[in-house]
Structure 1
Amino acid sequence: MRLSRLLGERYKEKPAEASLISHIFLLRGGYVKQVSNGIYSLLPPAKRIVSKIEQIIREEMDSIGGQEVLLPVVMPKELWEESGRYKAIGAELARFKDRNDHDMLLGMTHEEAAVHLVRNDAVSYSKYPFMIYQIQTKFRDEPRPRGGLIRVREFTMKDAYSFHTSQEDLEKFYQECFEAYHRIFRRVGIPEVVAVGSDTGMMGGNVAHEFMLLCEAGEDTIAVCKQCGYKANLEVARANIKHNDCSENILKEVHTPDITTIDDLASFFGLPAGRFVKSAVFAVQNSSKPLVVFIRGDLEVNEAKLRKIVGANVFPLTEHKDVPLCFGFIGPMGLDEVELDIIFDRSLEGELNLICGANKKDYHMKGFSMKRDIKVDKYYDVSKINSGDRCLNCNSGVIELVRGIEVGNIFQLGTKYTASMNMEYTDVDGQRKNPIMGCYGIGVGRLMAAVIEARHDDYGPIWPVSIAPWHIHICVLNSNKEGVNEFAFELYEKLRQQKYEVIIDDRGLNAGVQFADADLLGIPVRVIVSAKNLEANKIEICTRDKKIKKLVDKDDIIKEIQSLLT
């Protein structure tokens, strides 16, 4: 490739709209161009990188028995009505009518299409297990796109779907895919990616893992215990909550005029926030009853955990009109006659001598005991974990909260989709059963951006050779001097004949501009051809990470390049 013909310009200035390192360098380096909010075109360097990432993914999916297919981006409403997700998912799902006034949608994921593809073929146990995968465009009408390719609306994703006749078989394949994902991340140049337990979210199922690149640019929060290695997304992480050491006390009503927040109550009573019962009120999708969550005052409700418990989306209740609750003074006692649902967080289990709302304006109850003053059938884990909490896994380590970019995820779906969409097979005993599913995703563009976040310096990306847009970058200095261009292009052609991917800077610009552009392109090996060095029969060779820089005899240059790339 001649740099003079390469589409896309490189820029010295930092784009005003970019804050993340990957977004800055993707724009400055001529990799992407924004079309709309959260929608980008890929220019040739980015397309070459993405194609190499996709090939690595294909090789690893094929190695565990995957069969590549291609499912449609546009699907009819009826397919998603079968699974129940058409109404369950909100505005993120892009819906439209075609010219025949038929309701259609743009796929943000393809579980329904995958089941539709195979349900009439995989009707005997002898077909199982199997896995299909695709690399396809998705559209999610993300409300807050950010960070360039980190969070977008239109994206390319590898999604795979496996089908099994037993939970044991699913778990076996799940582990195979788990290991294949780690191989993928190693091969693209970010072996430090870690797997963490995660929420199944809208996908459903019981078990899920996210693959996280831990870095400050991440928008996900991960709970980590360095003592035992426990890692979990904040949405599912559990802490070993330390309970109050209190003795039981008499229950009495206390006048608390206009004191409604935990902070103000803590000041009023001179007690820590952990000695109070806090109430959080939610609206539940498709339910007319409010949901009250009681939790210890020093903790916050984790809405992802709450959604999983109630089996529906939940939203903080902001409209209080006609709701029979004394907001600001809600407590657990005396709610039997009120039409609502109640959940108690496990942080309250066994607690004594607490302060809670009296369900009466300007009053709280002091000396409240969970064992004595109320009957609770079941406690739930709905609290957010905090930095400094004791690890529940090892009971000795301390939880730290770190940031991470999600670069992949895997789910054990169970029969959520096969049962709702009537996919059945006949087992060895002649009985009809629903197959058990798993699904496995990797965002391709996000993975490219994540590599930049992990592999860069102040001047641009440092691409691993496995996914670099080209292997070798030839800079031609003093191209007007005799013999310089001739040698540079002779080397260029020899390297191409040996199947190396080479780009040559044939623009005749000064060294500073050429080197700045080479840094933004981030190609692993740089060869610098100059008149001064040629006079001494030398060529300069260096690596993009700046670790190697040396002069070599021009007759040995190809051998040296081969050695560096190896």
Structure 2
Amino acid sequence: MRWSELYVPTLRQDPAGADAVSHRLLLRAGYIRQLMAGHYSLLPLAVRVRAKIIEVIREEMSRIGAQEFLLPTMQPAEVWQKSGRWDKIGAEMFRLTDRKGADVALGMTHEEIFATVAQELRSYRDLPQLWYQFQTKFRDEPRPKSGLIRVREFTMKDSYSFDTDEAGLDRSFDKHHDAYVRIFARLGIPAIAVEASSGIMGGSDSVEFMCPTSAGEDLVVHCACGYAANVEKATSHLAPATDGAGLDAPEPFDTPDARTIEDLVRDYGVTADRQIKTLVYVVDGQLTLVLMRGDHALVEQKLIDTLAAVAIRPAHPDEISEALGALPGSLGGVGVTELPILADLALRDRRDMTTGANRDGVHLRGVDVARDLAVGRWADLREVTAGEPCPRCEQPLEVLRTVEIGHIFKLGRRYTETLGVSVLGADGERVTPIMGSYGIGVERALAAIVETHHDDRGIVWPVAVAPFEVAIAVLGTSDEVVAEAQTLYAALRAQRVDVLLDDRAERPGVKFSDIELVGIPYRITVAARGLAEGTVEFTDRATGQTEKIPLARAVAHTTHTLRATEN
């Protein structure tokens, strides 16, 4: 390709409003342009990178025996209604009505649709099956941000496994896990595999692949021993609490100006770890008390997972006042018997604690959790923080900000049962296949690569996904320079090198800056001075190192360098 024929609208200044590094550089380097919030046009360079990412994924999917499909992205409501997710999923799903009045959705995922295809499986001999596709997904994100990292329209590689039993699912899950490790290594993404919540997908085992970046919105708890989990799933060891004997019964005391945990610490000397924080949620229509230690934060996803909740929200002040007789700031669970109470494990067997009295401006001291609170269920609900002991090795945990680039689930039989998928088993009885689901966001992976591989001059693409492997910078317009550059260009193309000839009538500084900005891994500079010596310059974008090489060896040197990056 010749740069003079290529559409690369580079920008000299950072675009306004681009918060993430990848967003800023992909805009500046002419890879993307925003159409509207959460929707981006991919320009020629981005299309080339996207195609190479897809090819890496496709190769690894083929390696584990997966077969490629392409299923519709517009889907009938009845399939989602059968699975129960039509009503479970909220505003994130784009819904519309066709001209005949039928409800349809723009697919945000394809578990149900692949299950309808699987209805034609007949025998256990047809299993296992590993199916995948690259398809556009639509999710109405409330706050799309950070360029390609959080959008409303994107390409997903989603794959699905069908097995006769749990042992088969384990094998399919492990195959995908290993394939994902290879994929992200080949893409140059430092992915961390972490324990995760399955969320609306359902199922049991769930592993996310997370890329550390300041642009991420997910927190990962990580330890050098190998323990890693999303904060929605993470646990840690807490030091045992030492409580006094406490009081024979809770004792009220006036706290007219206390509305927060910090108020009780500052004005009444009650440390946060000796307070019981009472949160009130509406869980599937039921007002529910959630008790936490005062210095701990609730992870809502843990609450959702614990209760297998469909709909959850914080209760409104009027709902709380009507049920408990007080407003937030003076709430507690002592004496509450008509509402379900869920408590975090860190409160189990605690004594001499302080909590609200369900009277505005009044708290209770001397609370014995086992004696005074009717806890119906205990669960790990708290958010793990940096420095707490690892649950495996007791070393201090680290908390990283990350972006999710892949997620694998063991779905179980939820979708095959509800959509009537069954096969004839070896014993002649009908068997319901068990499913797994495995996804990679393609454009998000593209952004994650840029988040990881860049410097102050622009993007530094790994060779495997770069839009071009080599750029030839032609300096000058003399017949000799132009002829030698074109000869070198043709020779590299003959060796199947993905090469870009920068034949623009631009100053050398402009050419060098653009090649660095768009991130082409290697640059060959052809100039009159070098040709007089029989040499060209070969520059490594990642290291910045430049060396003179004989013109006669330029093709061999380049191909040798590219092959070395593949090993």
Name the amino acid aligned to 1:117: V
Within 5 A, what are the aligned runs for 1:75-474? 75-119=75-119, 121-190=120-189, 192-226=190-224, 228-250=225-247, 251=249, 252-285=251-284, 287=285, 289-311=286-308, 312-321=310-319, 323-325=322-324, 326-327=326-327, 328-336=329-337, 338=338, 340-394=339-393, 396-474=394-472
Name the amino acid aligned to 1:135: F
User: Which whole-Å CA distance do the structure 1 matches of 2:174 and 2:502 have between them?
Assistant: 46
Query: 537, 545, 548: which one pairs with 2:545?
Result: 548
Q: Once the two structures are aligned, what percentage of the paired residues are identical?
A: 40
Secondary structure of the corresponding residue to residue 322 of structure 2: coil
| 1:334/1:359 contact within 8 Å kept | no
Q: How far does residue 67 in structure 1 lie from its aligned partner after superposition? A: 1.0
**Is the counterpart of residue 489 in structure 1 residue 483 in structure 2?**
no
Q: How far does residue 265 in structure 1 lie from its aligned partner after superposition? A: 1.4
Q: How far does residue 284 in structure 1 lie from its aligned partner after superposition? A: 2.3
| 1:418/1:424 contact within 8 Å kept | yes
Name the amino acid aligned to 2:445: L
Q: Judging changes above 3 Å, is the alpha-carbon distance between structure 1 residues 243 and 269 closer, same or farther for their aligned structure 2 residues?
A: farther
User: Which whole-Å CA distance do the structure 1 matches of 2:418 and 2:54 have between them?
Assistant: 32
User: Which whole-Å CA distance do the structure 2 matches of 1:388 and 1:554 have between them?
Assistant: 57
User: Which whole-Å CA distance do the structure 2 matches of 1:284 and 1:386 have between them?
Assistant: 26
| 1:224/1:231 contact within 8 Å kept | yes
Name the amino acid aligned to 2:244: S
**Which residue in 2 is equivalent to 1:69?**
69
User: Which whole-Å CA distance do the structure 1 matches of 2:485 and 2:361 have between them?
Assistant: 84
Secondary structure of the corresponding residue to residue 399 of structure 2: strand
Gaps of 5+ in 2: none
Secondary structure of the corresponding residue to residue 413 of structure 1: strand
CA deviation profile, 1:47-95 (whole Å, cap 9, x unmatched): 1111111111111111111011111010011010011111100111000
User: Which whole-Å CA distance do the structure 1 matches of 2:218 and 2:375 have between them?
Assistant: 34
CA deviation profile, 1:374-409 (whole Å, cap 9, x unmatched): 343531111111122222222x21122111121111
Secondary structure of the corresponding residue to residue 391 of structure 1: coil
User: Which whole-Å CA distance do the structure 2 matches of 1:131 and 1:177 have between them?
Assistant: 10
**Which residue in 2 is equivalent to 1:562?**
559
**TM-score when normalising by structure 2:** 0.96
Q: How far does residue 30 in structure 1 lie from its aligned partner after superposition? A: 1.0
Name the amino acid aligned to 1:423: V
User: Which whole-Å CA distance do the structure 2 matches of 1:7 and 1:521 have between them?
Assistant: 12
User: Which whole-Å CA distance do the structure 2 matches of 1:375 and 1:513 have between them?
Assistant: 72
CA deviation profile, 1:138-180 (whole Å, cap 9, x unmatched): 1101111111111111000100000111112111221111011
Secondary structure of the corresponding residue to residue 209 of structure 1: strand
CA deviation profile, 1:206-258 (whole Å, cap 9, x unmatched): 110110112222221111122x2211001111121234201221132222224
User: Which whole-Å CA distance do the structure 2 matches of 1:243 and 1:331 have between them?
Assistant: 23
Q: How far does residue 548 in structure 1 lie from its aligned partner after superposition? A: 3.0
Secondary structure of the corresponding residue to residue 61 of structure 2: helix
CA deviation profile, 1:280-339 (whole Å, cap 9, x unmatched): 111224x1x211101111111110011112222311123424731122322222112x3x
User: Which whole-Å CA distance do the structure 2 matches of 1:435 and 1:284 have between them?
Assistant: 32
| 1:243/1:351 contact within 8 Å kept | no
**Is the counterpart of residue 50 in structure 1 residue 47 in structure 2?**
no
User: Which whole-Å CA distance do the structure 2 matches of 1:14 and 1:318 have between them?
Assistant: 43
User: Which whole-Å CA distance do the structure 2 matches of 1:72 and 1:406 have between them?
Assistant: 25
User: Which whole-Å CA distance do the structure 1 matches of 2:36 and 2:244 have between them?
Assistant: 61
Name the amino acid aligned to 2:542: D
User: Which whole-Å CA distance do the structure 2 matches of 1:268 and 1:423 have between them?
Assistant: 63
**TM-score when normalising by structure 1:** 0.96
Name the amino acid aligned to 1:244: A
Q: How far does residue 116 in structure 1 lie from its aligned partner after superposition? A: 0.7
Query: 504, 508, 514: which one pairs with 1:507?
Result: 504
Q: How far does residue 341 in structure 1 lie from its aligned partner after superposition? A: 2.5
User: Which whole-Å CA distance do the structure 1 matches of 2:344 and 2:430 have between them?
Assistant: 40
Name the amino acid aligned to 1:330: L
User: Which whole-Å CA distance do the structure 2 matches of 1:97 and 1:323 have between them?
Assistant: 40
User: Which whole-Å CA distance do the structure 2 matches of 1:204 and 1:230 have between them?
Assistant: 23
User: Which whole-Å CA distance do the structure 2 matches of 1:294 and 1:107 have between them?
Assistant: 38
| 2:21/2:450 contact within 8 Å kept | yes
User: Which whole-Å CA distance do the structure 1 matches of 2:374 and 2:106 have between them?
Assistant: 48
User: Which whole-Å CA distance do the structure 2 matches of 1:223 and 1:512 have between them?
Assistant: 44
User: Which whole-Å CA distance do the structure 2 matches of 1:401 and 1:380 have between them?
Assistant: 22
**Which residue in 2 is equivalent to 1:522?**
519
User: Which whole-Å CA distance do the structure 1 matches of 2:52 and 2:148 have between them?
Assistant: 17
Deviates more, 1:402-411 or 1:121-130: 121-130
| 2:231/2:383 contact within 8 Å kept | yes
Q: How far does residue 547 in structure 1 lie from its aligned partner after superposition? A: 4.3
Secondary structure of the corresponding residue to residue 450 of structure 1: helix
Secondary structure of the corresponding residue to residue 316 of structure 2: coil
Secondary structure of the corresponding residue to residue 135 of structure 2: strand
Q: How far does residue 197 in structure 1 lie from its aligned partner after superposition? A: 0.5
User: Which whole-Å CA distance do the structure 2 matches of 1:143 and 1:345 have between them?
Assistant: 30
Q: How far does residue 438 in structure 1 lie from its aligned partner after superposition? A: 0.5
| 1:243/1:347 contact within 8 Å kept | no
| 2:341/2:374 contact within 8 Å kept | no
| 1:22/1:452 contact within 8 Å kept | yes
User: Which whole-Å CA distance do the structure 2 matches of 1:369 and 1:358 have between them?
Assistant: 14
User: Which whole-Å CA distance do the structure 2 matches of 1:108 and 1:211 have between them?
Assistant: 19
User: Which whole-Å CA distance do the structure 2 matches of 1:555 and 1:124 have between them?
Assistant: 62
Deviation >3 Å, runs of 4+: 374-378
Name the amino acid aligned to 1:469: P
Name the amino acid aligned to 2:535: K
Name the amino acid aligned to 2:507: N
User: Which whole-Å CA distance do the structure 1 matches of 2:271 and 2:451 have between them?
Assistant: 41
| 1:329/1:364 contact within 8 Å kept | yes
**Which residue in 1 is equivalent to 2:529?**
532
After superposition, the CA RMSD in angstroms is 1.4
User: Which whole-Å CA distance do the structure 1 matches of 2:78 and 2:246 have between them?
Assistant: 59
Q: How far does residue 558 in structure 1 lie from its aligned partner after superposition? A: 1.0
User: Which whole-Å CA distance do the structure 1 matches of 2:318 and 2:173 have between them?
Assistant: 46
Deviates more, 1:416-425 or 1:141-150: 416-425
| 1:525/1:564 contact within 8 Å kept | no
Q: How far does residue 202 in structure 1 lie from its aligned partner after superposition? A: 0.8
Secondary structure of the corresponding residue to residue 323 of structure 2: coil
| 1:132/1:161 contact within 8 Å kept | yes
Name the amino acid aligned to 2:10: R
| 2:341/2:375 contact within 8 Å kept | no
| 1:133/1:159 contact within 8 Å kept | yes
